[in-house]
């Protein structure tokens, strides 16, 4: 089985967001593998271990993403590819990223592609379905279970609280939802091995892609932080009085009940 995992490097969930000069300031921030992509890496490794084959993790980004790719290799992925766009592309959006990934995957004959259902920074959830569409293969989003028998794939898809049992066949792209598995931590031997595993670095020129064909179709014109909530009001008195006051405030001051 030839498995690919699309992996985005993203801010650690613990990070506070700071804006300077109209941009998100990443100085000193910790970065992680997008949590949903970690589920993808884990599931891909498990499938490979039971069915044989190879797991390749691929990321579009800057040279910094090498660290997250190495982590995925340490977890057990076989190969990593970094498509480094730093020097070639100034602006891009979900379309750009999907186009680059699809161009790369075009001739790889992937049987199964994992993406996260959403990246916790950009948050659009577009890249998975867009890549599948560009490759002309079907996709199933937000899966919490996947079983493969031959070319047949059975999945459970989480849909706003209910779950769908879905059938499809390979080749297929799926996006991971929380609950799919418990991603492993890289082991020490895993980390040692990862250092020797292949990590290929490509640039746009290495792909059969004209930069204009991947030009962004959207533009960000402003970034800002939500207004800070003023310190809340802690109610006082006996519990009974607090409850009464709360209901009163919700009704007459906040007007939400």
Partner 1 sequence: MSRKVIVLGEVRNGELRNISFEGIAAAKTVAEGGEVTAVLMGESVRGLAPQMIHYGADRAVIVEDPKLAAYTPDGFSQALLAVIDQVKPEAIIFGHTALGKDLSPKMASKLGAGLISDAVAIEAEGDNIIFTRPIYSGKAFEKKIITDGVLMASIRPNNIPPLEKDVSREGGIFAVSADINDLRTVVREVAEKAVQDVDLSEAKVIVSGGRGVKSAEGFKPLMELADVLGGAVGASRGACDAEYCDYSLQIGQTGKVVTPDLYIACGISGAIQHLAGMSNSKVVVAINKDPEANIFKVADYGIVGDLFEVVPMLVRELKALLIKA
Ligand X SMILES: Cc1cc2nc3c(=O)[nH]c(=O)nc-3n(C[C@H](O)[C@H](O)[C@H](O)COP(=O)(O)OP(=O)(O)OC[C@H]3O[C@@H](n4cnc5c(N)ncnc54)[C@H](O)[C@@H]3O)c2cc1C
Q: Which helix (H) or strand (E) holds 242?
A: helix 239-248
Determine if 179 is a binding residue for ligand X (CB under 6 A). no
Compute the least distance from the CB of residue 112 to ligand X, in Å: 13
Determine if 220 is a binding residue for partner 1 (CB under 8 A). yes
Give the whole-angstrom CA distance, residue 173 versus residue 193: 28
Give the whole-angstrom CA distance, residue 48 versus residue 71: 18
Q: What is the dihedral sign for C-alpha 237, 240, 241, 243? A: positive
Question: In the block, which residue shows the tokens 């959207």?
Answer: 218
Determine if 13 is a binding residue for ligand X (CB under 6 A). yes
Is there a contact between 135 and 102 (Cβ–Cβ < 8 Å)?
yes
Is there a contact between 138 and 172 (Cβ–Cβ < 8 Å)?
yes
Is the CB of 74 or the CB of 204 nearer to ligand X? 204
Residues within window 32-51 making contact with partner 1, judged by CB under 8 A: 35-36
Contact pattern from residue 112 through residue 141 relative to partner 1, giving x for each residue in contact according to CB under 8 A and a dash for the rest: --------xxxxxxxxxxx-xxx---xxxx
Determine if 35 is a binding residue for ligand X (CB under 6 A). yes
Determine if 183 is a binding residue for ligand X (CB under 6 A). no
Determine if 97 is a binding residue for ligand X (CB under 6 A). yes
92 binds, among ligand X, partner 1, none (CB under 5 to 8 A by kind): ligand X
Is there a contact between 155 and 174 (Cβ–Cβ < 8 Å)?
yes
Compute the least distance from the CB of residue 79 to partner 1, in Å: 27
Determine if 152 is a binding residue for partner 1 (CB under 8 A). no
Compute the least distance from the CB of residue 180 to ligand X, in Å: 12
**Per the structure block, which two tokens stand in for 128?**
């998975």
CA 35 to chain centre: 7
Is the CB of 67 or the CB of 244 nearer to partner 1? 244
Question: In the block, which residue shows the tokens 């996260």?
Answer: 116
CA neighbours closer than 13 Å in the CB half-sphere of residue 242:
7
249 binds, among ligand X, partner 1, none (CB under 5 to 8 A by kind): partner 1
Question: Which whole-number Å values give the CA distances from 198 to 86, 106, 212, in the listed order?
Answer: 21, 20, 30
Give the whole-angstrom CA distance, residue 182 versus residue 223: 34
Residues within window 123-142 making contact with ligand X, judged by CB under 6 A: 123-128
Determine if 187 is a binding residue for partner 1 (CB under 8 A). no
Determine if 247 is a binding residue for partner 1 (CB under 8 A). yes
Name the pairing type of β-strands 54-61 and 79-84: parallel
8 binds, among partner 1, ligand X, none (CB under 5 to 8 A by kind): ligand X
Residues within window 228-257 making contact with ligand X, judged by CB under 6 A: none
Determine if 252 is a binding residue for partner 1 (CB under 8 A). no
Binding site for ligand X (CB under 6 A): 6-8, 13, 34-37, 59-61, 85, 89, 91-94, 96-97, 115-116, 118-119, 121-128
């Amino acid at each position: 089985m030839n498995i690919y995992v699309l992996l985005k490097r993203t801010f650690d969930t613990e990070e506070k967001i700071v804006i300077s000069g109209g941009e998100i300031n990443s100085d000193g921030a910790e970065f992680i593998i997008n949590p949903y992509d970690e589920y993808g890496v884990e599931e891909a490794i498990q499938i490979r271990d039971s069915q044989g084959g190879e797991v390749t993790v691929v990321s579009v980004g800057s040279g910094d993403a090498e660290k997250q790719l190495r982590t995925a290799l340490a977890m057990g992925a076989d190969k990593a590819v970094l498509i480094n766009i730093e020097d070639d592309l100034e602006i891009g959006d979900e379309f750009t990223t999907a186009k680059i990934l699809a161009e790369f995957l075009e001739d790889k004959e992937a049987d199964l592609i994992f993406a996260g259902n959403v990246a916790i920074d950009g948050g659009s959830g577009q890249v998975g379905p867009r890549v599948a569409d560009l490759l002309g293969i079907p996709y199933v989003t937000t899966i919490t279970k996947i079983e493969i028998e031959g070319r047949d794939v059975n999945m459970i898809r989480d849909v706003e609280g209910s779950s769908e049992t879905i059938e499809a066949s390979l080749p297929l792209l799926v996006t991971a939802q929380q609950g799919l598995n418990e991603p492993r931590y890289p082991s020490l031997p895993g980390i040692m091995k990862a250092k020797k595993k292949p990590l290929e670095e490509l640039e746009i020129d290495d792909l059969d892609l004209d930069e204009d064909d991947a030009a962004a179709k959207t533009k960000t014109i402003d970034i800002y932080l939500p207004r800070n909530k003023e310190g809340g009001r802690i109610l006082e008195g006996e519990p009974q009085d607090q409850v009464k006051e709360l209901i009163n405030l919700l009704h007459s001051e906040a007007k939400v009940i």
